[in-house]
Amino acid sequence: MKLTAMIFRLITPAFVGLFLLVTHANAQVFTPASLTIDDNRVQAKLSLSVLMEVDVTLEFENSIGLNADSIEITAELINPTDLNVVNRLPSSLTSAVSGFPVLVSISPKADAGFGFEGPAMVELYTKAIHYDPDVPLRLFTSHDNGKFEDITTLTSSGSFRARGSTGRFSDFIILLDNRTPTGVINEKLADISSTLSNNQLGIDTALFSQLDSTLNSISQTLSVVDYAAAMVVVDHMITLVESADGALLPNVWRSSGDLVNVQGDLLTQLKTLRFSLRVL
C-alpha cells in the first residue's frame, strides 16, 4: 500500500508508572530539550535530572508529514516496583533498571493522519548506565499498556545504547532480562507465529505459504539445537519479508489505527530473534 499525504504527530499516552514517592497522578512528564529532524530521521534529547538523560533516535524508511511541529516524544521516571509496571513485564525474571528507571513514550494522536512504511528504527542512548556484555539489558516496547516485548537488535557501549525496531509506536523501556536464552528465543518464535496467523487473511496466499514453511524450518533447526542453521533460515525469512511489497504484505501503519503494519511487525520480531541467536 502506498502512503498518501498525512500529518505526523506523536503524543504521550495517559498511562505511566510512578517514581519512588511520586504519585501516578503527579508524575512529571519531560519533553525534549532539543529536537532535530532530518529527512526521515528524528533525534531528541531529554533531561530528566542532572544525572538522568536519554537520547532518542527514530529512523523511517518512508514517512509522511514528519516535522518539528507535529512530533512529540516524552519520558517519565518510573518506580521499578510499581504494579503498573510490574504487571506489564513478560516474566518475573525481567525488571526495570534501578539506574535508569525511564519510560519513553511515542504515541500517535488518532486523528493526526501520520503514517509510515515498513519498520521504524528506535534507539535509546544514555550515560546513566554502562554497557556490560554479561548483563542482559534489553530494549522493550509495549503497545496500549500491554505486555512489554523484547525488540532488541543491538546493545553497545558509550555508555549504553540499545536499538530495535517497531511497526507501530507506544512505550519503550530498558529492562534487565534474566530469562534463559532458550526461553527468550522460544517466546520470540511464538510471537512471529502469532503475527503470521493473526494476519493471514491480509497476506498473499503464496507468500503466506512460504513464510509459514520457513517459520517451521526455523522451529525444526531450533528443536535440534542447530543455532547456526537457524540463523541462516531466519535471514532467509527476513529477505522474504523485506522483498514483499504492499500488495503482497500489508506494510503501512497510520495513526488512525485502522491498518496493521504486518511487514514492520514481522521484521521487528525476526530481527530481534536473530539478535538473540547471535548473542547465545
Of the candidates 177, 197, 219, which is a domain's last residue? Answer: 177
- The predicted structure's pLDDT at residue 255: 81
The answer to whether residue 205 scores a pLDDT higher than 60 is yes
Of the candidates 177, 193, 227, which is a domain's last residue? Answer: 177
Range of the domain at 196: 181-278
List of residues 6+ apart from 206 with CB closer than 8 A: none
pLDDT tens across 234-272, in order? 999 999 999 999 999 999 998 888 999 999 999 999 999
| Cβ-contact 96, 16 below 8 angstroms | no
- SS3 call for 238: helix
Q: Distance between CA 199 and CA 191 in Å, rounded?
A: 12
Of the candidates 116, 144, 177, which is a domain's last residue? Answer: 177
Same domain, 104 and 213: no
> In 10 A of CB 229, how many CB atoms?
15
Burial 253-272 (b: 16+ CB within 10 A, else e): bbbeeebbbbbbbbbbbbbb
CATH value at residue 114: 2.60.220
In a domain, 38, yes or no: yes
| Cβ-contact 40, 66 below 8 angstroms | yes
In a domain, 92, yes or no: yes
User: Which pTM value belongs to this model?
Assistant: 0.90
- The predicted structure's pLDDT at residue 114: 81
- The predicted structure's pLDDT at residue 26: 54
Same domain, 104 and 215: no
Same domain, 114 and 217: no
106: nearest Cα among 43, 64, 53, 169: 169
Same domain, 68 and 52: yes
Amino acid at 120: A
